[in-house]
């Protein structure tokens, strides 16, 4: 069963990674990052059961906390960028290029 | 047996929802799909002897994080659709190829590893008396420093969000008088109604948000339905996107008119 969970986690992680590369809307890109974090949590929980050790679950718990903090700051940045540039596309924020 | 049935159902659901999240054009659909993935993962945690994490997953992710996502989506504009212009040529194609390759690589690596039977968590949890007490013991002894640092992180994040979202007011706040004057000036120039817009569903059969209000003569008031909803109501031809009312601008009365 462990292998199944790990393969599911790998699939979700890869889908999230591909989504980050494909999508242009900053909020959707952010959702894909969240999906990748969730996939990692699934692997942590699976390994915790595999090894009979609760450390994996504690790490997954900390990942959730950090992800929550990251969402708050990230969405605030997106709102700020939208307020000044009237766009939520990651292609439009390219001033550093020039 | 029960676990493998749960796993296969939820695995199919979560992978399909994740693909739907990446593929759907509208950001709100993506958010709902992500919520579905998170709920399935919560059930998978519960199946894997992690009831505390399952509860936290539902409360923190589907409860708080998804609501925050939807809130910001409403703020930033739900009708912003992804631009289809590729800044790098062939980026989408190669991203898909890379994603499939990465998934195959990870899955094959996991599949090739020899993984024995799961030890199970009963040995780790029985001594403390359950999953939650055992986790609490770990968090407040071995990981207590990380836990304290986490509180600092959360405070910093809250403060950071406040600083980022705060806007310094450069112009004085418009009073009710200013707003009213601006409304009537707009009415004189463009004919835009100075009154509040009519609510949806007034005098109609029901008061759903996408049901346009009826005017005294029985025709539909397009102003009563939100533009975004009206556009989405594809199968209902009677609802057209609301348009700003056009009217001849009101002219300044001349001396001839007064006479």
Question: A–B: how many Cβ contacts below 8 A?
Answer: 237
Q: What integer is the mean pLDDT of B20-32?
A: 89
Nearest to A54 among B18, B103, B134 (CB): B134
pLDDT at residue number B15:
94
pLDDT at residue number A34:
93
pLDDT at residue number A38:
93
Residues 149-208 of chain B with CB under 8 A from chain A are 150, 153-154, 156-158, 160-161, 164-165, 167
Q: Which residues pair with B214 in a beta bridge?
A: B220
Q: Please name which of B67, B74, B11 lies closest in space to residue B44, comparing C-alpha atoms.
A: B11
Residues 206-245 of chain B with CB under 8 A from chain A are none
Chain B interface test: which of A32, A33, A35, A87 (most B C-beta within 10 Å): A35
Nearest to B107 among A10, A16, A83 (CB): A10
Query: Which positions in chain B touch A76 (Cβ < 8 Å)?
Result: 160-161, 164-165
- Give residue B247's pLDDT band: very low, low, confident or very high (50, 70, 90): low
Question: B118: which residues sit within 8 A by CB, 6+ positions away?
Answer: A1, A2, A49, A50, A52
pLDDT at residue number A91:
74
Contact A31 B150 (CB under 8 A): no
pLDDT at B253 over 80: no
Chain A interface test: which of B157, B158, B159, B168 (most A C-beta within 10 Å): B157
Nearest to B119 among A3, A41, A51 (CB): A51
ipTM of the complex as predicted: 0.91
And the tokens for B189? Answer: 């120039």
As a whole number, the mean pLDDT across chain A is 88
Question: Which helix or strand (DSSP H or E) is residue B94 part of?
Answer: helix B91-112
- Give residue B84's pLDDT band: very low, low, confident or very high (50, 70, 90): low
pLDDT tens-place string over residues B37-80 = 999 999 999 998 889 999 999 999 888 899 999 988 888 866 66
Least confident of B16-25, B181-190, B229-238: B229-238
Q: What integer is the mean pLDDT of A43-61?
A: 90
Measure CA B216 to chain center: 38
And the tokens for B37? Answer: 């993935």
- Give residue B237's pLDDT band: very low, low, confident or very high (50, 70, 90): very low
Q: What integer is the mean pLDDT of A58-81?
A: 91
pLDDT at residue number B157:
93
Give me the phi and psi of A89, to 5 degrees please.
-90, 140
pLDDT at B227 over 80: no
Q: Please give, rounded to a whole number of angstroms, the shortest distance from the CA of B143 to a CA of chain A.
A: 8
pLDDT at residue number B235:
42
Distance, CA of B223 to CA of B212 (rounded, Å): 8
What is the pTM assigned to this prediction? 0.78
As a whole number, the mean pLDDT across chain B is 82
Q: Tell which wins on pLDDT, A89 or B95.
A: B95
- Give residue B255's pLDDT band: very low, low, confident or very high (50, 70, 90): low
Q: What integer is the mean pLDDT of B222-250?
A: 58
Q: What integer is the mean pLDDT of B196-205?
A: 80
């Amino acid at each position: 069963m462990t292998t199944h969970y790990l393969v599911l986690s790998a699939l979700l992680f890869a889908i999230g990674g591909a989504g980050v590369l494909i999508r242009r809307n900053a909020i959707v890109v952010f959702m894909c990052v969240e999906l990748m974090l969730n996939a990692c949590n699934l692997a942590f929980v699976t390994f915790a059961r595999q090894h009979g050790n609760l450390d994996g679950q504690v790490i997954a718990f900390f990942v959730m906390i950090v992800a929550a903090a990251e969402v708050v700051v990230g969405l605030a940045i997106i709102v700020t960028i939208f307020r000044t540039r009237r766009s939520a596309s990651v292609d439009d924020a390219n001033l550093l290029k020039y | 047996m029960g676990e493998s049935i749960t796993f296969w159902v939820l695995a199919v659901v979560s992978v399909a929802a994740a693909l739907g999240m990446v593929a759907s054009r509208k950001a709100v659909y993506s958010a709902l799909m992500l919520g579905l993935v998170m709920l399935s993962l919560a059930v998978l945690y519960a199946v894997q002897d992690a009831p505390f994490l399952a509860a936290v997953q539902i409360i923190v992710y589907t409860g708080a994080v998804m609501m925050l996502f939807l809130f910001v989506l409403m703020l930033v504009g739900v009708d912003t659709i992804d631009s289809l212009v590729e800044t790098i040529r062939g980026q989408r194609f190669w991203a898909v190829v890379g994603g499939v390759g990465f998934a195959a690589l990870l899955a094959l690596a996991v599949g090739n590893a020899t993984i024995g039977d799961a030890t199970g968590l009963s040995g780790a949890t029985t001594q403390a008396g359950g999953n939650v007490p055992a986790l609490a013991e770990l968090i407040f002894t071995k990981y207590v420093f990380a836990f304290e640092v986490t509180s600092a992180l959360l405070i910093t994040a809250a403060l950071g969000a406040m600083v980022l979202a705060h806007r310094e007011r450069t112009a004085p706040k418009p009073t009710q008088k200013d707003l009213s004057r601006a409304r009537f000036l707009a009415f004189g120039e463009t004919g835009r109604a100075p009154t509040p817009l009519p609510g949806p569903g007034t005098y109609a059969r029901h008061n759903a948000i996408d049901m346009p209000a009826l005017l005294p003569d029985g025709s539909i008031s397009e102003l009563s339905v939100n533009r975004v909803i009206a556009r989405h109501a594809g199968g209902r031809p009677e609802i057209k996107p609301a348009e700003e009312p056009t009217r001849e601008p009101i002219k300044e009365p001349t001396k001839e008119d007064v006479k």
